[in-house]
Amino acid sequence: MVGITPDALRYYDEIGLLKPAYISPETGYRYYSDEQAAVLAQIMEMKHYGFSLNEIKSILKQGEAALTDMYLNRCWALEKEKKNLQKTIDKLSKKIKQRQEEIFMNKKILLVDDVPFMRMMHRGIFDTEGYEIAGEACDGLEAVELYKSLKPDVVVLNIVMPNLDGTGALEKIIEFDENARVVMCSAMGQAHMVAQALMMGARDFIVKPFNSVELLNAVRKSFNKVNLNRETLKQIREMCAENTEVISQVDVEKIIEFARLESSGEEIAAFVKSLTEKSTVEQKESSVEQASEISIRLDKLEQGMEEIKEMLRSMKQR
User: Given pLDDT bands bounded at 50, 70 and 90, which one contains residue 280?
Assistant: very low
Given a cut of 50, whether residue 14 has pLDDT beyond it is yes
Task: Inform me whether the pLDDT recorded for 287 exceeds 50.
Answer: no
Please give the average per-residue pLDDT across 83-100, as a whole number: 87
Report residue 170's pLDDT band, with 50, 70 and 90 as the boundaries. Answer: very high
Condensed to tens digits (0 to 9), the pLDDT of residues 191-203 reads 899 999 999 999 9
Which pLDDT score, from 0 to 100, does residue 286 have? 42
**Mean pLDDT for the stretch of residues 110-133:** 92
pLDDT at 138: 94
| pLDDT above 80 for 231 | yes
pLDDT of residue 309: 65
Render pLDDT for 118-128 as a digit per residue (tens, 0 to 9): 999 999 999 88
- Of the two residues 262 and 15, the one the predictor is more confident about is 15
Which pLDDT value is given to residue 283? 43
Question: Could you tell me the CA-to-CA distances from 317 to 99, 161, 303, 305, 308 in Å, in that order?
Answer: 81, 64, 21, 19, 15
Q: Is the pLDDT of residue 25 over 80?
A: yes
What's the pLDDT score for residue 194?
92
Mean pLDDT confidence for 227-236: 88
Residue 301: the pLDDT is: 62
Q: Which of 66-70, 104-108, 142-146, 228-232 has the highest mean pLDDT?
A: 142-146
| For residues 291-306, average pLDDT | 60
Give the pLDDT mean for 2-18.
82
How many angstroms separate the Cα of 9 from the Cα of each of 13, 43, 54, 61, 278?
Answer: 6, 11, 15, 18, 55
pLDDT of 272 above 50: yes
- For the four alpha carbons of 19, 25, 30 and 36, in that order, the dihedral sign comes to negative
Q: What's the CATH fold of domain 6-100?
A: Multidrug-efflux Transporter Regulator; Chain: A; Domain 2 (1.10.1660)
Q: Is the pLDDT of residue 158 over 90?
A: yes
Q: What percent of the chain has pLDDT over 90?
A: 33
pLDDT 10s digits, 36-85: 888 888 888 888 888 888 888 888 888 777 788 888 888 888 899 899 99
Listed range (139-143, 212-216, 254-258, 276-280) with the worst mean pLDDT: 276-280
Q: Which of 18-27, 84-93, 194-203, 293-302 has the lowest mean pLDDT?
A: 293-302
Domains 6-100 and 105-263 agree in fold: no
Dihedral angle sign, alpha carbons of residues 131, 133, 134, 139: positive
Q: How confident is the model at residue 317 (pLDDT cuts 50, 70, 90)?
A: low
Q: Work out the mean pLDDT of the chain and round it to a whole number.
A: 84
Can you give the pLDDT at residue 300? 62
Chosen CATH of 105-263 out of 3.30.43.10, 3.40.50.10260, 3.40.50.2300, 3.30.200.20: 3.40.50.2300
Contact by Cβ (8 Å): 39, 64 = no
pLDDT for res 181: 95
Q: Where are the domains of the chain?
A: 6-100, 105-263
Quote the pTM value.
Answer: 0.58
| The three-state (H, E, C) secondary structure of the chain, written as one string | CCCCCHHHHHHHHHCCCCCCCEECCCCCCEECCHHHHHHHHHHHHHHHCCCCHHHHHHHHHHCHHHHHHHHHHHHHHHHHHHHHHHHHHHHHHHHHHHHHHHHHCCCEEEEECCCHHHHHHHHHHHHHCCCEEEEEECCHHHHHHHHHHHCCCEEEECCCCCCCCHHHHHHHHHHHCCCCCEEEEECCCEHHHHHHHHHHCCCEEEECCCCHHHHHHHHHHCCCCCCCCHHHHHHHHHHCCCCCCECCHHHHHHHHHHHHHCCCHHHHHHHHHHHHHHHHHHHHHHHHHHHHHHHHHHHHHHHHHHHHHHHHHHHHHC
